[in-house]
Amino acid sequence: MNHRLPAEWESQDGILLAWPHEKSDWAPLLSEVEKTYEVLIAAITRFEKAVVIVPEGRSKLFRSRLLDTGSQEANLILVELPTNDTWARDFGFLTVVDKKGRRKLLDFGFNGWGLKFVACEDNQVNRRLFRAGLFRRGVSLSTIGLILEGGSIESDGQGTLMTTSTCLLSPNRNPHLSRGQIERALRRYLGARRVLWVEHGYLAGDDTDSHIDTLARFASPKMILYVSCEDPADEHYQALKEMENDLKRFRTPEGRPYTLIPLPMPAARYDEEGNRLPATYANFLFVNGAVIVPTYHDEVNDPKALRLFQEVFPEREIIGIPALSLIKQHGSIHCVTMQIPQGVLV
């Protein structure tokens, strides 16, 4: 393996985010979601840098606002760029590291989750960011002719990728490529030695065709956290049981079953029109020394999930951040962030 995609629990320089704005779908609930961003960025900057994309001409305003709401000035970087939306996980660059320790930023194509939403500005963010002078000498950027969202893959940092067939085989992403050809692309660009395909599982209200980061996540090279549904009356019950069986069939490179840790399913949350929203504790974020976990004003399952995360990651601080505002646009904490591994930022 000449290069690899680091695991998210490895050391980071920072986290990339894009601020919501009034020209996006956030307009009707902008004040609410901005408060979530303030809390989230304040938490991130306790541990590492937050690189925040803000609307043009507003960096001074937002810097003052973020400092007033608890962000650490030394770890706050604001960049003025146009965006369509805020889902940095999916349009942000992925970083691979080669055997000599060199960092390469990969700019995959982003087409609004299979042509569902306009993405003309978001698809240019990485190239514009690269010209902003944020990166160390020797860090390079390559634009890749493949549609791939960061939320659609999980890496154990050692050559194993996990993904869902529903997303990566979507006819509106790379219809010219077979499953085998997509695997070869993942090997070429991300250094994958093998790909674990999750064939089942979904969340109602999800626009991504079942991104893996809403369903199942590596906690270590031998452990997977996954969404579990124990209520036979819930619409997710059968699909998530089938996903659980997929995970039980997976083996580590050494041929052993993974340690599987079920996450509770939050109580159902709905929008104003009665549509179920994709609340999930699997959409957590690693930062240096901590794990940021989305919560959903669920008095039973929020504390249960936070206790479980503390058991799984006893050496890390566990930080719960209310994410009801985010799921109203069908994403959560991991969806609006992209980790920047150590050795990338100036």
Check: CB of residue 318 under 8 Å from CB of residue 306: yes
Overall domain count for the chain: 1
Residues 178 and 259: their CA atoms lie apart, in Å, by 30
Name 301's Cβ contacts closer than 8 Å, sequence gap at least 6: 264, 265, 266, 267, 281
Which residue(s) pair with 106 in the sheet?
Answer: 94, 142
- In which order are the strands placed within the sheet that holds 76-80? 76-80, 49-54, 12-18, 338-341
The conformation of residue 299, written as its DSSP 8-state character, comes to T
Q: Give the range of the structural domain holding residue 171, as residue numbers without chain letter.
A: 3-341
Residue 259 CA to its chain's centroid (Å): 22
Residues 96 and 184: their CA atoms lie apart, in Å, by 16
Check: CB of residue 235 under 8 Å from CB of residue 205: no
DSSP character string of 95-136: EEEETT--EEEEEEE--HHHHTS--TTGGGHHHHHHTTT-B-
Residue 346 lies in a domain: no
Q: Mind telling me the catalytic residues?
A: 335
Check: CB of residue 44 under 8 Å from CB of residue 290: no
Which of 221, 278, 227, 281 is CA-nearest to residue 253?
221
Average pLDDT of 255-280? Answer: 98
C-alpha triplet 90, 183, 281: angle, nearest 5°: 40
Residue 107 lies in a domain: yes
Confidence of residue 340 (pLDDT cuts 50, 70, 90): very high
| Domain CATH for 63 | 3.75.10.10
C-alpha distances (whole Å) from 183 to each of 26, 81, 156, 196 are 35, 33, 16, 10
What is the structure's pLDDT at 188? Answer: 98
Say whether 80 sits in a helix, a strand or coil: strand
Residue 14 lies in a domain: yes
Q: Is the pLDDT of residue 1 over 90?
A: no
Check: CB of residue 222 under 8 Å from CB of residue 288: no
Residue 304 lies in a domain: yes
Average pLDDT, the chain: 98
- In which order are the strands placed within the sheet that holds 223-227? 216-220, 223-227, 259-263
Check: CB of residue 94 under 8 Å from CB of residue 306: no
pLDDT tens sequence across 183-214: 999 999 999 999 999 999 999 999 999 999 99
Which of 315, 312, 305 is CA-nearest to residue 264?
305
Confidence of residue 299 (pLDDT cuts 50, 70, 90): very high
What is the structure's pLDDT at 111? Answer: 98
Check: CB of residue 326 under 8 Å from CB of residue 332: yes
C-alpha triplet 23, 153, 310: angle, nearest 5°: 90
Q: Is the pLDDT of residue 53 over 90?
A: yes
- Predicted TM-score (pTM) of the model is 0.98
Confidence of residue 222 (pLDDT cuts 50, 70, 90): very high
Confidence of residue 103 (pLDDT cuts 50, 70, 90): very high
pLDDT tens sequence across 127-185: 999 999 999 999 999 999 999 999 999 999 999 999 999 999 999 999 999 999 999 99
Q: What is the radius of gyration, based on Cα positions, of the chain?
A: 19
Q: Helices marked H in the chain — which ranges? A: 30-44, 59-68, 88-91, 112-115, 125-130, 165-168, 179-190, 237-249, 301-312, 324-327
C-alpha distances (whole Å) from 306 to each of 10, 21, 236, 317 are 21, 30, 22, 10
Residues 133 and 239: their CA atoms lie apart, in Å, by 46
